[in-house]
Amino acid sequence: MQLLLVVVGAIAVTAVAHRRGMQPSLVVVVLAAAVSFIPGLPRFELEPELILSVVLPPLLYSAALNFSVPAFTRNLRPILALGVGMVVVSTLATGAVGWWIVPGLALVPALILGAVVAPPDAVAGLAVGRELGLPKRLMAILTGESLVNDAAALTIFSLTVAAVTGDHTLFENPVLLFVYSAVVGSVVGFVLGLIVHWIRMRVQDSGLETALGLVVPFAAYLLAEEVHASGVLAVVMAGFVLGHKNTEAGFATRLQARQVWSTLDVLLEAFVFAYMGLQCRFVFAELHPENWVKFALAAAAILLTVLIVRPLWMTVAYGRNWLTRKLRKREPLPWKYFAVISWMGMRGVVTLAAAAGVPESVPERDTIQALAFVVAVGTLLIQGPTLPFLIRKLDITDPAEETEEEAANRKAREISMNAVKATMIDLYNQPHPGVSPEMLEKLKDRYVAAAQARRAMDDDMDSRVQSLRELTVSVRRAMLAAQRRALAKARDDGDLDDETVRRELDRLDYEEAAAFS
């Protein structure tokens, strides 16, 4: 009953925040924290393993499903520098500061704290970026980073927690354990993604395919954890594989999955923010009154470290690279990109979920959770409202990109129609039994007219031409399949960006649903 009330309340607050133009994550966590101070309110707490194995996998999987593998490949260096390099540096820097300044916090628990607060939450930042029209390359880098940094931080988190609890005995060397965890976790996710895709292609039932997709993140996580590998990386890799091969699934499956995962994202994110907010009073109650001043200073130091380590890392990692490329007369990323990336470091759902997932056996668990709460809320309060101002001040939006987007849409339609023409030629050369050239000519005229008008083909044929209608359905589906294959090939060859292809595939899905449902 308590769980149901938390979920319903979180969704209601999220809806109100959306209508008022506020950041739902910040509103939910602050209101839930205020509610936690109601006298006599009992503590609502779940098992840490439940948070890590039930809440996080579907959130990471959903994000991976919607990311472009070609865009990831093209921007691999900056994504890895931010998603892995910055996470490691942030974990070590925050852990060192925590070990030095937080009373009673040992080194390994301090590194747990560092891993918890290392990954920025891209949801809020990317929403602002889309609204203000950030360039596509910058959006691709930030989206890719959000997936990689979650996986890297949670892998480090699992390893540091294991060092405290003694769960891992596979390798004594932490570097070997990290490499094993990352490589094997990725392999498990990749293989599972291929197996699920093979099954999905043979099920041919949208309901069963969607249900199978809901099982994948949990299966990937548990399988990888069973062999002491990174469950998080397994989830992300499985999402990459199935998202990339999504063009081969049926239109009904894509339409269903799109709505299911969108709903599940809203539900889980609202729950995590509400859950962590409700822990606020109980977490801070564990701190002794005489330590409040020391805790406030330590929290301020940790928050400051989190805020400045990202710009510093950007300067170190990219400053020399930018100068080198300039001297070689190669086009580097614009400095304005660096400024926006440096300030897009709000912490959110992964930080709060990881903090909630710290086992009770970890020393100073309550201190770690309290500091993580301060960092998450502090970055949302400081960077959240100032990020839109920074983007507008830098004038980083690219007006020419709107024209480029229109050109890309036209190119996608051209590729799609070329696939239709090629399919019609094949039908002329190898017609269906009993089909005359005149009938195919009439069918071609009907289809081209419908495609140009952007509407479904007229279905006003009477019973005398029922056989023609059945042939129309068969041929039209073959054409739609050819269009999708052509768009997927153009994406893989780099002729179209993933966002354009997704928009065109959405249009074809809705067109097919309207015509054949």
The alpha carbon dihedral of 281, 287, 289, 295 has a sign of negative
Amino acid at 140: A
Work out the percent of the chain whose per-residue pLDDT is above 90.
10
Question: Could you give the CA distance from residue 192 to residue 186 in angstroms, rounded to a whole number?
Answer: 10
CA distances from 122 to 281, 311, 312, 367 (A): 27, 16, 19, 25
| C-alpha count within 13 angstroms, C-beta hemisphere, residue 419 | 23
Read off the pLDDT of residues 201-210 as tens digits, 9 standing for 90 and up: 888 777 888 8
Question: Could you give the CA distance from residue 176 to residue 168 in angstroms, rounded to a whole number?
Answer: 12
Question: Could you give the CA distance from residue 216 to residue 230 in angstroms, rounded to a whole number?
Answer: 15
Question: How confident is the model at residue 332, as a pLDDT?
Answer: 60
Structure tokens at 391: 């983007």
- The ranges of the chain with pLDDT < 70 are 1-3, 48, 122-133, 166-174, 286-290, 318-333, 397-414, 416-421, 423-475, 498-499, 513-517
Amino acid at 461: M
Phi, psi (degrees; rounded to nearest 5) at 203: -75, -45
Q: What's 386-421 look like in SS3?
A: HHHHHHHHHCCCCCHHHHHHHHHHHHHHHHHHHHHH
Question: Could you give the CA distance from residue 79 to residue 11 in angstroms, rounded to a whole number?
Answer: 32
Phi, psi (degrees; rounded to nearest 5) at 348: -155, -120
Q: Kindly report the number of other CB atoms within 10 A of residue 187's CB atom.
A: 16
Read off the pLDDT of residues 422-433 as tens digits, 9 standing for 90 and up: 766 666 666 655
